[in-house]
Structure 1
């Protein structure tokens, strides 16, 4: 009897069954052969699975991913690149216009071109510095000014009239910009905290600095108080972005931190500008002693009255339905502030103009709020921010050109560093105890924000020097006081600004995060 035997072969890596039959002993007994035939029938009705690799030797997945990411980055950065390119074109166009109009003074190495070049370089260096480090750009602008002076490229002592003019414009923009965000409702509700935090640490630091300067550097008391009124100003604008981020990320609602730092810091700034103006007028302007004392006593009060009156008038004119209401409101407070500041300086009422600007803009902003303009989010606030972003690099670069490195500098700076440590400790101690109703961590947060010194210091530090040069009849001791004044102030800016900014930025979210309450839970419940 014949038998058939079937074998299954896996051919070339795919599942193909090939049956080979051959005769054997007895076909009836070939159960295996029947099973194989049945399997062949089943396999014929199915598709043969194939294993394929989708490989294209012309493609590189890693390279394609890098190219895609590069395109995305370029697409995202294009508006920024075009923004800076536009500014460059506008700057070159402006310089070309001035060169065509005024000739040699505006050629590539002209007298006025140096001023513009240092200002532009300070702005560019500040932008690059902030992108690389996140620190405020004012530090780079200040260093650019110091380098420009000590490499004998630019000396603002040769431009005292221009510098003095600009330093009457800076305070109007600084005080006007900040006060447009003051919320009178918050101030009315928290007036004790705002006033004490704005006044007490400032007063303590002014007196401490005056004593230290008199003891260690033989400063006269009036010069010590003049320096102290500048030195004690806190630069809340430097830390405000970090304050907003910290309060927003922590969810701490125990206090309106933005308004607290803004209003208390604004009070501190107004005191610095006002008291500096009063003391400066008392030192630099001669006259009847009785009249000088009357001016000193009434300057700040007169500034408040004038500012509130002008700000209230801004409620009624221009009319809220005027087609050009935004432009006219801006010009109303800006021109009014500039006129008041220059007028008070002309007649020796220093300090009146600065306080008037702060009172005017804060009053006007709260009146405009009733017409639908949000505080710090309106056309006037936007215009002030643009003006300050233009002036900020000029303030610090031109102030840096007064910092001359010479023989007695290092001794004064070493003593100044010790005085700085003493003043900061006194200031922060008073601020810590003023905020007694806050938690310990919240009080430390306030102390972090109360460290930076920069804006008012940079604006006012060369004012005494310019006044002495303009007056003409000064002695060597007074000029030495003015030089020491500048050195001490610039040292404080370079030391306290990065420290205060970094502490507020990195410790702020932690210090404002409220601790979670712990509850004892019975395991059986």
Structure 2
């Protein structure tokens, strides 16, 4: 049998000439033997591929466990009894680790958000007497000043300011009107059904009405890229949800400071009127400074840019809380990071695909189990809560009905399927709720002279935990399951909603910018 073998010789000009040369090969090659070898080779490839898939995962978690045990050993050796297996510091760390591990298991088995397992871990830890963060309020309060800076900064780094300017009416109405109506509805229900004072009702409403975009953004990004309509779904949901979050954080800080910070009535009203505007102004100024500081030619420009916005946000939150201007820092962080991201994009950093975004994602993925687990330890299970939970379920249904109805009215010019999709994304309540829910209990414990109001704070927390456990899986599953069907468009709609090429490229780039949330 003759076989052609190609030999290649390269000329100095860079052109390749192929010569063919005949070589005699023996005819005695056994085809059957080769087939047997191929079959055995395929079997080994299958076994090898299975091993290749499972081995990295096992090694990854084995590495994490090893590092965790070594870290615990260092802390035990350095600080002694508090880090023994029954020490108070060990219990705090153990609940966080178990919350993270149970979340990973839940997500791998059901695809549900891991925060649900973390919250249940905290509830069970409190129920069985393993950990109660009421005994460690100084630690919990410190962490709850860090959480908002990370989660708000992470979300606002993905905002496209150009999209917000071009679609400001849609963003404002979708972000503000449903939120305002739900807050008002909740305050009325809490006052009429639970006997809450009006201020406590609006304080609860400011947290309760917040939509949790991080829960559904991976699904929105995935299904939004496959739709053929004119809407940039990731940016619409992200920016409208961001405005919703800004209102929640800002208004909560205003009411909280008004209720608990001792000062003159005139000063209280001045703060209430100026908090949102002062926060926005400070954030824009600091974000604009990030355009020039550090210099783009600095050797450590990446690290310094991240620290500039991160440390600035942390200082703002701690300082404004100390002086009684709660809520100002949350709005400032949203404005700062979105402004900085716009300037960084003009210097070559892709929107939400840059080192700052990655750092915020990693920080939040580390802090998320702590937020929900430690919030769960404030939830006390006993026989007397059944009435509150039943009334709370009714309040939840009423509030969701009002919110979804307002969304349907606000988005009257969209197709019915698209309006239903937006309603699905507006159901989950989790992030802001978990961060701020125990703050009223913290404040009352610190004041010590307003124990008669503790009953409101306890009911406050129960209603929020109930809302998280019910709405988060429902909203996630509806968005993920119905998204492909609801965002499909027919051929006529595709022609009607066809975009110019430049706008299409910008839309695709914006959608791609949130891809990394799926991997984290």
TM class by shorter chain equals 0.7 to 0.9
In the alignment, which residue of structure 1 is the partner of 2:143? 166
Q: How does 1:1-16 map to 2 (within 5 A)?
A: none
CA shift digits 1:465-517 (9 cap, x unpaired): 011001111123x1110110110000000000000000000100110000234
In the alignment, which residue of structure 2 is the partner of 1:482? 457
In structure 1, which of residues 64, 73, 80 is the aligned counterpart of residue 50 of structure 2?
73
Determine the C-alpha separation between the residues in 2 that align with 1:324 and 1:163: 33
| 1:181 to 2:158 alignment | yes
Per the TM alignment, residue 65 of structure 1 is displaced from its structure 2 partner at its CA by 7.2
In the alignment, which residue of structure 2 is the partner of 1:506? 481
Per the TM alignment, residue 249 of structure 1 is displaced from its structure 2 partner at its CA by 2.6
In the alignment, which residue of structure 2 is the partner of 1:12? none
Determine the C-alpha separation between the residues in 1 that align with 2:377 and 2:320: 27
In the alignment, which residue of structure 1 is the partner of 2:466? 491
Determine the C-alpha separation between the residues in 2 that align with 1:469 and 1:374: 45
| 1:466 to 2:447 alignment | no
Structure of higher RCO (CA pairs closer than 8 Å, 6+ residues apart): 2
Per the TM alignment, residue 81 of structure 1 is displaced from its structure 2 partner at its CA by 2.0
| 1:308 to 2:259 alignment | no
CA shift digits 1:271-313 (9 cap, x unpaired): 1111101101111111111111111111111101111100000
Determine the C-alpha separation between the residues in 2 that align with 1:149 and 1:335: 33
Q: Unpaired runs of 5+ in structure 2?
A: 1-30, 494-520
| TM-score for both structures, normalised by structure 2 | 0.86
Determine the C-alpha separation between the residues in 2 that align with 1:361 and 1:54: 66
| 1:442 to 2:452 alignment | no
Per the TM alignment, residue 103 of structure 1 is displaced from its structure 2 partner at its CA by 1.0
Moved more, 430-439 or 384-393: 430-439
The answer (yes or no) to whether the contact 2:229–2:489 under 8 Å persists in 1 is no
CA shift digits 1:299-352 (9 cap, x unpaired): 111101111100000100101111111100000000000001110000000110
In the alignment, which residue of structure 1 is the partner of 2:400? 424
CA RMSD of aligned residues (A): 2.0
Moved more, 283-292 or 210-219: 283-292
Count of residue pairs brought into register by the alignment: 463
CA shift digits 1:43-81 (9 cap, x unpaired): xxxxxxxxxx979xx99x8x9977653431220222222
In the alignment, which residue of structure 2 is the partner of 1:27? none
In the alignment, which residue of structure 1 is the partner of 2:59? 82
CA shift digits 1:105-137 (9 cap, x unpaired): 111111100000000000000001000000100
| TM-score for both structures, normalised by structure 1 | 0.85
Q: Secondary structure at the match of 2:491?
A: coil
Q: How does 1:10-49 map to 2 (within 5 A)?
A: none
Determine the C-alpha separation between the residues in 1 that align with 2:77 and 2:229: 58
Q: Secondary structure at the match of 2:324?
A: coil
Determine the C-alpha separation between the residues in 1 that align with 2:301 and 2:324: 34
Determine the C-alpha separation between the residues in 2 that align with 1:174 and 1:54: 63
The structure with the larger Rg is 1
Q: Secondary structure at the match of 1:129?
A: helix
Determine the C-alpha separation between the residues in 2 that align with 1:233 and 1:70: 49
Determine the C-alpha separation between the residues in 2 that align with 1:392 and 1:165: 15
Q: Unpaired runs of 5+ in structure 1?
A: 1-52, 519-525
In the alignment, which residue of structure 2 is the partner of 1:148? 125
In the alignment, which residue of structure 2 is the partner of 1:402? 378
Determine the C-alpha separation between the residues in 1 that align with 2:318 and 2:390: 37
In the alignment, which residue of structure 1 is the partner of 2:190? 213
In the alignment, which residue of structure 2 is the partner of 1:8? none
The answer (yes or no) to whether the contact 2:252–2:327 under 8 Å persists in 1 is yes
Determine the C-alpha separation between the residues in 2 that align with 1:112 and 1:431: 46
In the alignment, which residue of structure 1 is the partner of 2:369? 393
In the alignment, which residue of structure 1 is the partner of 2:261? 285
Determine the C-alpha separation between the residues in 2 that align with 1:76 and 1:248: 28
Q: How does 1:113-152 map to 2 (within 5 A)?
A: 113-152=90-129
CA shift digits 1:375-428 (9 cap, x unpaired): 100000000000000000000000011110113211100000000000000001
In structure 2, which of residues 213, 231, 242 is the aligned counterpart of residue 236 of structure 1?
213
Determine the C-alpha separation between the residues in 1 that align with 2:44 and 2:409: 57
In structure 1, which of residues 449, 456, 464 is the aligned counterpart of residue 432 of structure 2?
456
Moved more, 63-72 or 223-232: 63-72
In the alignment, which residue of structure 2 is the partner of 1:50? none
| 1:378 to 2:345 alignment | no
CA shift digits 1:148-170 (9 cap, x unpaired): 00011000111111111111100
Per the TM alignment, residue 94 of structure 1 is displaced from its structure 2 partner at its CA by 1.6
CA shift digits 1:413-468 (9 cap, x unpaired): 00000000000000011111111221111111101101000000000100000110
